[in-house]
Chain A
Amino acid sequence: MKKIIFTLSIIVPLFAACTVQTPDELNPAAGETELSGAVSDEQVSVMEVYLSEELCAVVEREMADQKLLTRSSETGELFSSANVFSMERIFPYAGEYEERTRREGLHRFYRVRLSESVPATRASSELIEIEGIEKATPVRKIKQNSFNDPELKRQWHYYNDGSLGSSFSKGCDVNVTPVWESYTTGDPKVIVAVVDGGIDPDHTDLAYNYVGGYNFVSNSKRITGDNHGTHVAGTIAATNNNGVGVCGIAGGDYAAGKKGVGLLSCQVFEGSSSAESFAAAIKWGADNGAVISQNSWGFDFKTDQEAAAAARAGLANYSPGLKAAIDYFIKYAGCDNAGRQKADSPMKGGVYISSAGNDNRNRDVIGEYGPVIAVGAVAPNFNKAYYSNYGSWVDIAAPGGDAQLGTTTQVYSTKVGTYGYFQGTSMACPHVSGVAALIVSYYGGQGFTADKLTERLINGANVDAMKKTNERTYIGPLVDAFGSMTYGGANPPADVAAYTVTPKSNSLDFSWVVTADKDGLKAYGYELFASEDASRLKGLNPAKELPEGVISVKVFTEGYKVGQTMTGRITDLDFSKTYYTAIAGFNSNNFYSNVTNASGQSTTSADPTETETGVNHAPVVTVKGESSITLKAHETGTLKFSVADPDDHEVTVEFDGGSKAATCKSEDNVNYTVNINAPLAEAGIYTVNVTASDKYGLSATGTLTYTVLENHAPEKSKDVDNILMSRVGEKATLNMEDYIKDPDGETLTYSAVLSTSTNLTLSQDGNTIELRSTNFGETTVTMRGSDIKGKYCTLSFKVLARDPSIPIDVYPNPVVDVMTVRPYKATSSATVSVVSATGATVFEQTGAGSPFDPVKVNMGGVAPGKYVVNVSFDGETHQRTIVKQ
């Protein structure tokens, strides 16, 4: 719906001077009414009227009864001749100051909207004809002089009255000035992540709202200003009203001491370089407080075919990392790790706003990704900018400039150390980001979601302004800041026809059907009421401060559709007490339906519904499955229990695991799992005690037990034979699990070491070792199997690699003490004699010997010298010369 709203002012002095005289001046004599002020013949569709007290009372009554301007109503009949379709107070309900507002007669000023634009004189005369309308004037155009920024006059994209030239069409702007004047100029709690070239942090017009950044090109905190990024940032939040330079859509009000939204620079361009990961920059914005991601960049496609192919593949296939980052931003911006809205965050979730592209194409892989808000560019004459991409995937249009129409038709904003013009969807995009920031600044808070922001942004945009342009090449409706702010209108939802209220201990459960308003929009939410005193709910006006003794809970209709059943609950009431209940719906602008009882009757005339709360019941601890478990010393196991409160009260659970082996966790605070890691406990029987308590003092206990059995050390399961290798390079493989086992059935950890690595290498793969000889010689291999408690068993065996052509080994040589004589084969009778150099026998012995059990000769008592060792076995005699040192 197109809204053509001329700049209006609610600044009372200005308004009074232009259109309103004091009540006395208005009524110099009773019953006389007159037009005040000159009226031009411009086309108008919004008029301001001043009502008589009588008519005002009728209007208020019918508004409360949801009958305002309906056919059967008195106002409907009265105003039909003037084609009035809606009306609202110019000075909204003032809460605690309503009394003096009414005393001054301000409650009698109404804004009426006409169903068609008509000449102002005709509108005035038609309205004046209505009995009860004492004054009727068009909304006066007020020169935009609310900010003192000298270059605001170049910024047609904020306010375009057509006066800058023939290329400029009146109304082709973002309609932001009414928002500045009536709603907000931006709130520093809102942070916009500018993923672009660096924002000039020292710029006179940006430093006030600059909150920091990170350089993803140099991977440092040093931000280097870039004209493109600085220009984009200026559109979003250049400082307003500081007597310098330009304005920004959400730039605050410097003169009033109000900061605008925060600018977070996620620098991804630096000179001719760009960041390796744009996705990281996007995610970083979410992790650093931003709820709006502003992105005036895209992939560089050389041809339309290339762009189309990428779009067909989809962002998930073309750039999965980028998609993941966008999804992350949308899901987690403003939220904690679990996805819950942070207490200080203005919005749950984020919006990702992207320029559509400057190739005059109808495909773009990023813009076509559903969750992305794609922004097309419009010239100052409502036409699509010649360069702008287009297509049904473009969500919204904004001023981007068109140099073909002249330099000044481009967008004017900050540059590094200066100001200047740029054009492009890059310039259009930050207009949408700035408007989004304004919406969040005003409506943001607990419960405000990114979906709500998007709904306002898109549905509040100006469709009519782009109707002709979009017939040819679609770039979406024109962003409209004021339209988005007032989206939802003044019509409250319909009354709740009926609800049920069911006591559950000290809570009351409400159930009702979601209603809609006259515009077809569903209720934004419902407020549930309870009070011990019925009179406090009679005639209750929820828009005002609730009286003492009235308890209320608001629930929002997110995810529900009109006609669906919705539930809500009032908790923390007193037990076993009589309460009176009622319900009312409200729209996004906090316009309430009537407060009704369970039968749908307004509590203005009918009584609220009586009900009684119940008693408190203790929580219930239920063991699920077995209540005890026996574990071997190396095992783990689980026990389960659940905790429930029959009254749905919040329950705290205390857990005593009996030992450090038992831990308890729950995913949903209902079902609990006790994990028992037996290795952490000594053998014994342990008791788990669980106590569940509600906050009213009732509790329940549960008991589980677990037994940890004694641990037994690993044992040898069979002997391991010594290994005789007959060549270098020969291999042998053993599975250590075959030799050492755990009597408890535990899977052991195996290892093996060598006594020396001189002649053997060892490699281990799992429980298997491979031995490979690298030299002749003997090595002892020691295997070890360990259990989880540190107990172990070792087994040793020898690996002998020897040259089979050598019948005996005598070593060491020279010998100092013990000499080993090793035959090449086992023999039961080997005679070893040691003869001196002169021939005297110094040692002789006969006995068994083998390669792994050689003969040992103690040469300690033999004088140094040369000796000959003679070895005879199985009919063979072998001789070796040795030296005794």
Chain B
Amino acid sequence: MKKILVSISLFAALGASLSAGDGAGSVAMPFAEIPRNAAALGEGGVHLAGSSSSLAYGAFENIAALPFTTSKVDVGGGYEMWAPKQSNEKFINFGAGVHFGKFAASVAGSLGNNEPYTEYREGGFEGSKFTPKDMHIAFGAAYGITKNIGLGVSGKYLSNTLSSAAAYSAFGVDVMAFGSFGPVNVGAGVRNIGSKVKSYSGDEFSIPTAASVGVAYASAFGLGAELDADYVFAAGPDISAGAHYCWNDMLTVRAGYHVGAVLPSFLSLGLGAKFFGVYVDAAYLVSPAVPSGTLCISAGYRF
């Protein structure tokens, strides 16, 4: 099914208030919102209505969409260099999923390694260096309750080691639904329902719990498009829109746009190739903001 993604911009008003910094700083472990699937990232980070869903990374995306994929097995891994001009965090991503009958399951993970930073004491006294690390592990399962509707649940573990004395972890759950109605798919759910992270000063911060809804359209000519809307309760709305053109189920070009509170705005471009089950996807972000220069490569094997 070809899907044509039409970029949609909802930006201007949202962008001004976000740049003031309201909300975004209130979300703990925001790295959980970074797309790990290069195909999804290439389409502006869409992840709810199945436009670029991957069986391997389904636990990170809409798990309820997995019973409606065409693949039976998908194993993949990837490398992601996020915001090289700012955060410069490097992730190793991996995932695996299976689909049999009305049932599907996926397990995925992402291990992030930051640039080391120098510690400084009060007064500016230099200390030692430390390298922060992130980890995002998810496991999900879904079931097609009808031939059009599926439901799924993902559980996830997030951890963040910031210094020799500060390491945080949290648990979250996604409860998702998916509906496939001809060329139109709809996805919705509540993501990252979970524990809070407590800072040294005693304040508690939520992981990016969000209510999400998305719709995708796939044409018969290899075009497809999707529009997602997430509302991160602690931060604000995230909008992702993307489109792709797949030629002969072998080559795919992608583009998308994202604007949001947790992830800043970016324009994404992506390419994909698949041959005899082996697939490679790449996405590159063009943005005036922090994510500019982000590169994500995913590869795997699905059948």
Tell me the A residues contacting B by CB distance below 8 Å. 756, 758-759, 775-779, 802, 809-814, 816-817, 820, 822, 834-844, 860-866, 868, 879-885
Contacts and interface: CB of A to CB of B under 8 A. Distances in A.
B114 A866 contact: yes
Contacts of A863: 25-30, 197, 199, 205
Q: How large is the interface on B (under 10, 10 to 19, 20 to 34, 35 or more residues)?
A: 35 or more
A857 to B, nearest CB: 11
Given A814-B166, A864-B166, A777 B124 contact: yes
B162 A814 contact: yes
Interface in B106-121: 114-115, 117-121
B199 A884 contact: yes
Given A838-B82, A863-B25, A883-B132, 8 more contacts: A777-B121, A809-B120, A814-B163, A836-B25, A839-B264, A842-B21, A844-B21, A866-B162
Given A813-B120, A839-B289, A864-B199, A883 B30 contact: no
Contacts of A775: 125
Contacts of B284: none
Interface in B64-95: 82-83, 86-87, 89
B265 to A, nearest CB: 9
Contacts of A809: 120, 124
Contacts of B25: 834, 836, 840, 842-843, 861-863
Contact of B119 (A813, A816, A865): A813
Interface in B244-272: 261-264
A816 B87 contact: no
Contacts of A811: 120-125
B89 A885 contact: no
A861 B89 contact: no
A881 B197 CA distance: 21
B299 interface: no
A881 B34 CA distance: 19
B160 interface: yes
Given A776-B126, A839-B264, A862-B25, A885 B162 contact: yes
13 contacts: A777-B123, A812-B120, A812-B122, A837-B31, A837-B87, A838-B290, A840-B24, A844-B20, A844-B21, A861-B25, A864-B162, A864-B199, A885-B165
Q: Is the interface of A mostly helix, strand, loop or mixed?
A: strand
Given A813-B117, A817-B201, A866 B87 contact: yes
A103 to B, nearest CB: 113
Given A809-B120, A839-B87, A883-B162, A865 B30 contact: yes
B123 to A, nearest CB: 5
Nearest to B122: A812
A861 B235 CA distance: 13
Interface centre among B31, B115, B125, B235 (most CB of A within 10 A): B125
Nearest to B168: A864
Contacts of A839: 83, 86-87, 263-264, 287, 289-291
A879 B117 CA distance: 11
Nearest to A818: B122
Interface centre among A779, A820, A865 (most CB of B within 10 A): A865
A843 B19 CA distance: 8
A661 to B, nearest CB: 47
Nearest to A842: B25
Interface centre among A779, A802, A837, A880 (most CB of B within 10 A): A837
B200 interface: yes
Contacts, number: 167
Q: Is the interface of B mostly helix, strand, loop or mixed?
A: loop
A840 B166 CA distance: 22
B283 to A, nearest CB: 15
A184 to B, nearest CB: 89
A868 B125 CA distance: 19
Interface of B: 18-21, 24-31, 33-34, 82-83, 86-87, 89, 114-115, 117-126, 130, 132, 134, 160, 162-163, 165-166, 168, 197, 199-201, 203, 205, 235, 261-264, 287, 289-291
Contacts of B291: 838-839
B235 to A, nearest CB: 8
Given A836-B25, A840-B24, A883-B163, A860 B201 contact: yes
A843 B290 CA distance: 14
A817 B119 CA distance: 15
A650 B199 CA distance: 89
Q: Which A-B residue pairs are the 6 nearest by beta carbons?
A: A839-B290, A842-B25, A840-B24, A811-B120, A863-B205, A881-B117
B229 to A, nearest CB: 17
A837 B89 CA distance: 8
Contacts of A840: 18, 21, 24-25, 30, 235, 261-264, 290
Contacts of B29: 863, 865
A864 B21 contact: no
B246 to A, nearest CB: 29
A864 B264 CA distance: 19
Nearest to A802: B124
Contacts of A884: 162, 199
Contact of A841 (B21, B121, B123, B125): B21
A834 B132 CA distance: 17
Contacts of B83: 837-839
Nearest to B134: A837
A838 B197 contact: no
Interface centre among B115, B120, B165, B264 (most CB of A within 10 A): B120
A883 B117 CA distance: 8
Contact of B203 (A837, A861, A868): A861
Contacts of B124: 776-778, 802, 809, 811, 820, 822
A840 to B, nearest CB: 3
Nearest to A866: B132
A843 B21 contact: yes
B121 A812 contact: yes
Contacts of A778: 123-124
B119 A814 contact: yes
A156 B263 CA distance: 128
Contacts of B86: 835, 839, 868, 879
A880 B86 CA distance: 9
Nearest to A839: B290
Contacts of A816: 199-201
A835 B30 CA distance: 12
A638 B94 CA distance: 96
A225 B86 CA distance: 97
B201 A810 contact: no
A860 B198 CA distance: 12
A879 B83 CA distance: 14
Given A813-B120, A836-B30, A860 B203 contact: yes
Contacts of B199: 816, 863-864, 884-885
Interface centre among A759, A775, A816, A840 (most CB of B within 10 A): A840
A595 to B, nearest CB: 100
Nearest to B166: A885
B11 to A, nearest CB: 14
A839 B87 CA distance: 7
A865 B158 CA distance: 12
